[in-house]
Amino acid sequence: MGDVKKNETKEVVTKGYVLNLVEVLKGEGEGEDEYIFDITVQKPDIDKEVILVKGAILDRYKQNKIVLADHNLSVQAIVGKSVWVRKYNDRIRAKLVFADTAFGQYVKKLVDGGFLRAASIRFRPYEWVEGEEVKEYGYDPGQVIRVYTKWELLEWSIVTVPANPNALKVEKVVKDGETKAVNNQEGQEEVKGATPYQDYDIVDEKWDKGKAVQQIRKWASSDGSGDTDKIDWGKMKKAYMWFDSSEPEKITSYKLPYVYIKDGKPVAVKRAIISIVAAIMGARGGVNIPEKDKRAVYNHCKKYYAKMGMEIPEYKDVLWVVQVTEAMIEDAIDEVKKSLDKRDDEVQNNNEPEVSGQGDMAGDTQADGVEDEDVVVKALGAMVETLEKMKGGQNG
């Protein structure tokens, strides 16, 4: 056996494939329909990598066989469960039953209608071979650069990825400018666009984003000019927490800078990291990146928070916070309206509510009370409108 590579980092890999619906088993009576899918195939993908079926470890997944949407690890993203997951010669298949929830049935309809055609596995590679060593597994080094020989399935998802007649790579881990197989116990996930943790030294200084961007461009360019045609884009990624991987050689593709350049080296800026956490939680209008990438950026920041000896705020999807807050406000509006309706009924029945004072003063007090409640209703209503705009921004 040749040189077997083993993991030393803490990320996981996500790879996507065309969703191959092998068979639909219609439930009898009130029985559930069951869908059999190929969730991964042992063929070279567009990154020239192969995942060996016989190297798969399925035991832990079989203890909790949930199927998700877009690798979103929240309860709300559960699509269904795998009845079974089995290895075949060149593929792994799973039998899926959709959850009897509004979301599960919604995804089922999209699959039935052909709108969702891609699946993606998230796995932790333990061992792989590269270069000439792939010949031992029957592959041409000119066609395959890496073969994963031992790996563990963490979960699989139905994802919103365009169909491709060949195996397609949804997301890849990038480190030091090249694709890396990654690892192990903690399982930090690296999703499309979110950059790996760099473990820079931290400085506590005033954060100036414009200043940082200029420093980063000069540092990343070969001649120190900052000109686009001189930039090393692999280096550029190390100064940002997110980039648009579909257009990696555009300045505007890079978001969430967090470093200054000191003595020719990047240093993380405490206030920049705190601002990024606030932004992905929705502060100051939030940041326009995919929701699943926000979680990856949050995990990136979490490591810096630990290094700074700080406790990071609990991650909450902004839309979830908006929805909960909106519900609380609407409940408050209902209570105020009930109070107004009760007051109106009392007035109509000539059974005016007791108020302190006499004569006109008493009447003024009652009128003021109604007017105050009207103001409260209007104010709460305005808050709901603001929340609706926030939701629209998240969905847009």
Confidence of residue 191 (pLDDT cuts 50, 70, 90): very low
Report yes or no on 151 lying in a domain: yes
* 51 phi/psi in degrees, rounded to 5: -110, 115
Residues 30 and 178 in one domain: yes
Confidence (pLDDT) at 198 = 85
* Domain closes at, from 307, 334, 362: 307
Q: Using only C-alpha atoms, what is the Rg of the chain?
A: 27
- Note whether 284 and 332 are same-domain residues: no
Q: If you ran DSSP here, which 8-state letter would residue 156 be given?
A: E
pLDDT, tens digit, 9 for 90 and up, residues 63-121 = 999 999 878 888 888 999 999 999 988 888 888 899 999 999 998 888 888 777 777 78
Residues 11, 158 share a domain: yes
Strand 11-18 vs strand 188-189: parallel, antiparallel, or unpaired? parallel
User: What single-letter DSSP state applies at residue 153?
Assistant: E
The residue assigned the tokens 């365009």 is: 162
Residue 196, in any domain of the structure: no
Looking at 272, 307, 342, which one is the last position of a domain? 307
Spatial contact of 42 and 51, defined as CB atoms under 8 Å apart:
yes
In whole angstroms, give the CA distance from residue 216 to residue 226. Answer: 8
Do both 173 and 225 map to the same domain? no
Q: What percent of the chain stands above pLDDT 70?
A: 63
Confidence of residue 372 (pLDDT cuts 50, 70, 90): low
- Picking from 259, 285, 307, the residue at the C-terminal end of a domain is 307
Q: Is residue 20 assigned to a domain?
A: yes
51 and 140 belong to one structural domain: yes
Question: Is residue 47 pLDDT above 80, yes or no?
Answer: no
Residue 184 contacts residue 200 (beta carbons within 8 Å): no
| pLDDT at residue 182 in the model | 32
Q: Kindly report the CA angle at 14 between 117 and 237, in degrees rounded to 5? A: 120
Looking at residue 196, its pLDDT comes to 81
For the whole prediction, is pTM greater than 0.95? no
Give the residue among 349, 290, 356 at the shortest CA–CA distance from 319.
290
**In contact, 380 and 332? CB cutoff 8 Å:** yes
Task: Flag whether 312 is in a domain.
Answer: no
Residues 21 and 156 in one domain: yes
Count of domains observed in the chain? 3
Residue 314 is predicted with a pLDDT of: 77
Residue 254 pLDDT class (50, 70, 90 cuts) = very high
Q: Are residues 126 and 35 in the same domain?
A: yes
Contacts (Cβ under 8 Å, ≥6 apart) of 347: none
- Tell me, what amino acid is at 214? Q
Asked whether the predicted pLDDT for residue 351 surpasses 70, the reply is no
Which of these, 154, 88, 93, 97, lies nearest to 121 by C-alpha position?
Answer: 154
The predicted-structure confidence for 259-279, as pLDDT tens digits, reads as follows: 999 999 999 999 999 989 888
With cut-offs at 50, 70 and 90, classify the pLDDT of residue 159: confident
Q: Domain span at residue 262?
A: 202-307
Q: Which two tokens stand for residue 394?
A: 């998240």
Answer whether residue 194 is part of any domain: no
**Beta sheet of 259-262, edge-to-edge order:** 202-203, 265-269, 259-262
CA distance 234 to 223: 16
Q: Are residues 185 and 209 in the same domain?
A: no
- Residue 300's identity, in one-letter code, is H
Q: Are residues 43 and 176 in the same domain?
A: yes
Average pLDDT over residues 142-168: 71
